[in-house]
Amino acid sequence: MAIDFLYPQYEVVRNYDRCIACRACERQCANEVHFYDPEFQKMQADESKCVACHRCVSLCPTRALKIVKTDHTFKENANWTGKAISEVYRQAGTGGVLLSSMGNPEPYPIYWDKILINASQVTNPSIDPLREPMETRTFLGKKPGKIERDADGNLVPNLSPQLELRVPVMFSAMSYGSISYNAHESLARAACALGTYYNTGEGGLHQDFYQYGPHTIVQVASGRFGVHKDYLEAGAAIEIKMGQGAKPGIGGHLPGHKVGPDISRTRMIPEGTDAISPAPHHDIYSIEDLRQLVFSLKEATAYKKPVLIKIAAVHNVAAIASGVARSGADIICIDGYRGGTGAAPTRIRDNVGIPIELALAAVDQRLRDEGIRDQISVVVGGSIRNAADLLKAIALGADACYIATSALLALGCHLCRTCQTGKCNWGIATQRPELVKRLNPDIGSQRLVNLVTAWDHELKEMMGGMGINSIEALRGNRLMLRGIGLSDRELSILGIKHAGE
Ligand code: SF4
Ligand code: SF4
């Protein structure tokens, strides 16, 4: 009906002088944008289906294609933007909840970009990372409050199980189901090569990936999909997912059309059924309940594996973290409101939660104030975009960071934000075999290794410039940070001074 017509968001610009009608774009596009018109003997496009994933642009052999944003004719203003108007139309047409993927795109402040890093000058020498040792290895887990010695003066080993990271970066939870087999394999192999960890998310562990167990964090979420004894024992650590930055307060949803035979077996659910995990864990209503699950999991794995608890960054995150630290967990993972997802209700993704920078600073300070910082390691995620964000996070108090969107970008994601449709043309957020095979795990894992290696080089360079030679010395070193353009209140929560002070 005309009332619902929306002018397409993107336009396909085809240079017919260059187009040789090879139809590669038609074959590459799972959204069926391109087609050959026999009447006019040339390629045409149905632009209403284009999501700007740029697969066709990248693979066109003659560089004949360009995708541009349309200059649509909404009579918009600062309040009623084109996006706001079109969302009302879509909901009036369907009566449904709007779904989105990837992280919160709204123009809230990005605090990483308002924090500057110190460098040594004159009185405190910098360190040359090419010539002097620089340590970016880190260990996650409880640290002993004091060193114990026996009667002969020998050290008594009292260290809880630790995760050793050669670089302070891990791949965040992305389930098999929300992303493809080849994407999981790429992450797993990269984690092994880098000496770090990837995370199963709430989708269980495919039998082929048990071999990567020493570099795998297995997740236990409210749906308990794919959770069994062998699964718990396969991982290097177990993560209890209480919340996720993209959708705090609600559970996960994998649409039935993505649940094929392999996913069904791995998740232990019937084929073709929606995998909807409940919003809360139905056995957890207090920190005491959480503690029970932590110790059940430790008991089930003979107290050999650290337990992580993942929460979303919300208003009272510092108090929640204080409780989590007392639950017996070894590591707390905090996911900021920019954290990505394969599918989330748009309103929740864009309006619920708080920035990871503020959450991290508040949590680290609270744990220090209560004298329990050493009882738990802190890992943060939710849009860590580069090595500078990583360094700032560690200086604000993190032990390490989780990355996911950056990892997917390394695999070829073009941030078209339509993962929920299952038609990812880059073979990442899809289960369609013809699309999955487009992502080559040899290439994917190498690109992930390259990305994290590059960040590690940059991290060492920046640390050297600051006169710091270990993550240990950088962690929580807020004196090394200055804010710019921030209010007194923001600076006080971040625990940093303003530039010039
Ligand atoms: S891929 Fe390029 S050359 Fe081939 S049909 Fe499409 S636009 Fe034309
Ligand atoms: S993973 Fe695929 S579908 Fe999702 S945003 Fe990236 S390119 Fe688009």
Return the pLDDT at 5.
Answer: 78
The per-residue pLDDT for range 236-262, each reduced to its tens digit, is 999 999 999 999 999 888 888 888 888
Report whether 330 contacts 374 (CB < 8 A).
no
Alpha-carbon distance of 371 to 240, in angstroms, equals: 24
Return the pLDDT at 146.
Answer: 81
* Residue 52 Cβ < 6 Å to ligand 2: no
pLDDT at 385 over 90: yes
Return the pLDDT at 164.
Answer: 98
Domain positions in the chain are 2-96, 164-475
The per-residue pLDDT for range 132-142, each reduced to its tens digit, is 999 999 999 99
Return the pLDDT at 429.
Answer: 96
Return the pLDDT at 394.
Answer: 98
Per DSSP bridges, beta strands 163-165 and 169-171 are unpaired
Could you give the dihedral angle defined by the CA atoms of residues 108, 112, 116 and 117, in that order, rounded to the nearest 10 degrees? 170
Q: Is 25 annotated as a binding residue?
A: yes
> Residue type for 192, please?
C
Q: Provide φ and ψ at 166, rounded to 5°.
A: -70, -25
Return the pLDDT at 187.
Answer: 98
Question: Region 291-303: what's the mean pLDDT?
Answer: 97
Distance 357 CA to ligand 2 centre (A): 25
Alpha-carbon distance of 388 to 474, in angstroms, equals: 13
Alpha-carbon distance of 261 to 38, in angstroms, equals: 39
Question: Region 197-213: what's the mean pLDDT?
Answer: 96
The SS3 call for residue 454 is: helix
Nearest CA to ligand 2 atom 8: 416
- Domain 164-475 fold is TIM Barrel (3.20.20)
Q: What is the overall mean pLDDT for the chain?
A: 95
| Residue range 2-96, CATH number | 3.30.70.20
* Residue 416 Cβ < 6 Å to ligand 2: yes
The per-residue pLDDT for range 340-369, each reduced to its tens digit, is 998 899 999 999 999 999 999 999 999 999
Question: Region 161-178: what's the mean pLDDT?
Answer: 97
Q: Is 53 annotated as a binding residue?
A: yes
Q: Is 401 annotated as a binding residue?
A: no
DSSP characters over 221-284: -TT-TT--HHHHHHSSEEEEE---TTSTTS--EE-GGG--HHHHHHHTS-TT--EE--SS-TT-
Q: Is 419 annotated as a binding residue?
A: no
Alpha-carbon distance of 284 to 289, in angstroms, equals: 5
Question: Region 399-409: what's the mean pLDDT?
Answer: 98
Return the number of other C-beta atoms located less than 10 Å from residue 337's C-beta.
27
* Residue 408 Cβ < 6 Å to ligand 2: yes
Structure token pair of residue 214: 């020493």
* Equal fold, 2-96 vs 164-475: no
Which of the four pLDDT bands, split at 50, 70 and 90, describes residue 273?
confident
Burial environment of residue 386 by CB neighbours within 10 A (0 to 12, 13 to 18, 19 or more): middle
Report whether 388 contacts 456 (CB < 8 A).
no
Which of the four pLDDT bands, split at 50, 70 and 90, describes residue 1?
low
Return the pLDDT at 156.
Answer: 87
CA–CA–CA angle 270, 276, 282 (5° rounding): 110
pLDDT at 162 over 90: yes
> Residue type for 447, please?
R
Q: Is 19 annotated as a binding residue?
A: yes
Q: What percent of the chain clears pLDDT 90, i.e. is strictly above it?
A: 85
The per-residue pLDDT for range 47-65, each reduced to its tens digit, is 999 999 999 999 999 999 9
pTM: 0.95
pLDDT at 286 over 70: yes
> Residue type for 338, please?
R
pLDDT at 339 over 90: yes
* Residue 14 Cβ < 6 Å to ligand 1: yes
Return the pLDDT at 56.
Answer: 98
Ligand 1 pocket test, pick from 25, 26, 36, 63 with the greatest ligand atom count within 8 Å of Cβ, gives: 25
Return the pLDDT at 155.
Answer: 87
Which of the four pLDDT bands, split at 50, 70 and 90, describes residue 274?
confident
Per DSSP bridges, beta strands 331-335 and 377-381 are parallel
Return the pLDDT at 123.
Answer: 87
- Greater pLDDT, 496 or 342: 496
Nearest ligand (C-alpha, residue 413): 2
Highest mean pLDDT among 87-96, 146-155, 259-268, 481-490: 481-490
pLDDT at 113 over 80: yes
pLDDT at 96 over 90: yes
